[in-house]
């Protein structure tokens, strides 16, 4: 019995260094050993981490989208994301995008063409029903306007100018600006991913398709309604009728204001004379 106890004691004594080493290794593993493994946030402090971690992509790792990054740290910055980075999860949307004017321009090497991240943002991606989203109803015109209000891009690529400002001046834009979130926005007329030129027979804004497009909100729309422009510029060379109406109202309101001031001034003068006479 005594020999068995002695053997047990010697075994425990011999195992103490090993047990101590295992405990030390466990502690280092749990505490990080004084140095955490390198991760993306160590260098990319310019990215809003809180916004990313509350976005719809919060459960994705960075390399799912930035597949060209193979090591941390990496010498070269990640390449500009294209639609191919999104195709694994959003194949239908990518297919539509590739057929659109944006996708076709991007395929031709035009770097200014909008890609997924330009509209949805790169890291702070939220549901379109979230007011923080760049494609939320009230935010979408500004998102599209970054390119379609750019005079340089309009001139360089021959696309219509002042789409953002003219939209906000329209009935639809004013309705959304003052809280009506069901009024038509950019995607209501042009689509979201399959955006085609107005001259394309498959485009939602092609003259032959306008009755159906406008009919989503105006089922009893007449032919006269479809003749009107949405992006109206009050210029004599563009919309003479709108220009004339605007000039008339400006002149009318100016004359009305002047007559009102004159009336009040004469009334004050008469009151002062009457008081002075008394």
Q: What is the pLDDT of residue 32?
A: 42
Structural contact between residues 230 and 189, judged by C-beta atoms closer than 8 angstroms: yes
Q: Which two tokens stand for residue 157?
A: 């690529």
Whether the pTM exceeds 0.75: the reply is no
For the beta carbon of residue 143, count every other beta carbon within 10 angstroms: 20
> Which pLDDT belongs to residue 15?
58
Q: Which residue has the tokens 């955006």?
A: 195
In 55-208, DSSP assigns E strands to none
C-alpha separations of 241 from 36, 175, 231 in Å: 69, 23, 14
Q: Which residue has the tokens 């946030």?
A: 41
State whether residue 83 is helix, strand or coil.
Answer: helix
Query: What is the rounded CA–CA span in Å between residue 90 and residue 81?
Result: 14
Q: Are 161 and 174 in contact (CB under 8 A)?
A: no
pLDDT in 10s for each residue of the chain, 278 residues: 445 444 544 544 555 556 555 655 555 455 443 333 458 888 888 899 999 999 999 999 998 999 888 888 888 888 888 899 999 999 999 999 999 999 999 999 998 999 999 999 999 999 999 999 999 999 999 999 999 999 999 999 999 889 999 999 899 999 999 999 999 999 999 999 999 999 999 999 998 999 899 999 988 877 777 777 788 888 887 778 778 888 898 999 999 999 999 999 999 999 998 888 87
Say what the pLDDT of residue 2 is: 47
């Amino acid at each position: 019995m005594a020999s068995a106890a002695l053997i047990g004691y010697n075994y425990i004594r011999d195992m103490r260094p090993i047990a101590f080493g295992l405990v030390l290794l466990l502690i280092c593993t749990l505490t990080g050993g004084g140095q955490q493994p390198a991760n993306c946030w160590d260098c990319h402090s310019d990215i809003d981490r809180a916004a990313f971690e509350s976005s719809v992509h919060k459960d994705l790792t960075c390399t799912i989208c930035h597949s060209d990054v193979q090591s941390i740290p990496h010498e070269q910055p990640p390449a500009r994301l294209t639609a191919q980075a999104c195709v694994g999860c959003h194949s239908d949307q990518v297919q539509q995008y590739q057929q659109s004017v944006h996708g076709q321009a991007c395929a031709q090497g035009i770097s200014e063409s909008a890609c997924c991240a330009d509209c949805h943002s790169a890291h702070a991606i939220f549901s379109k029903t979230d007011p923080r989203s760049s494609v939320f109803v009230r935010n979408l015109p500004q998102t599209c306007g970054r390119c379609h209000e750019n005079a340089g891009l309009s001139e360089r690529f021959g696309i219509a100018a002042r789409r953002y400002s003219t939209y906000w001046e329209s009935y639809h834009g004013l309705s959304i600006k003052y809280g009506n979130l069901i009024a038509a926005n950019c995607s209501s007329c042009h689509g979201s991913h399959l955006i085609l030129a107005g001259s394309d027979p498959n485009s939602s804004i092609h003259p032959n398709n306008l009755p159906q497009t406008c009919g989503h909100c105006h089922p009893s729309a007449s032919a006269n309604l479809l003749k009107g422009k949405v992006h109206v510029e009050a210029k004599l060379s563009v919309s003479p009728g709108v220009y004339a109406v605007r000039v008339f109202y400006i002149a009318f309101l100016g004359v009305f204001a002047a007559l009102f001031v004159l009336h009040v001034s004469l009334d004050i003068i008469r009151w002062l004379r009457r008081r002075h006479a008394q």
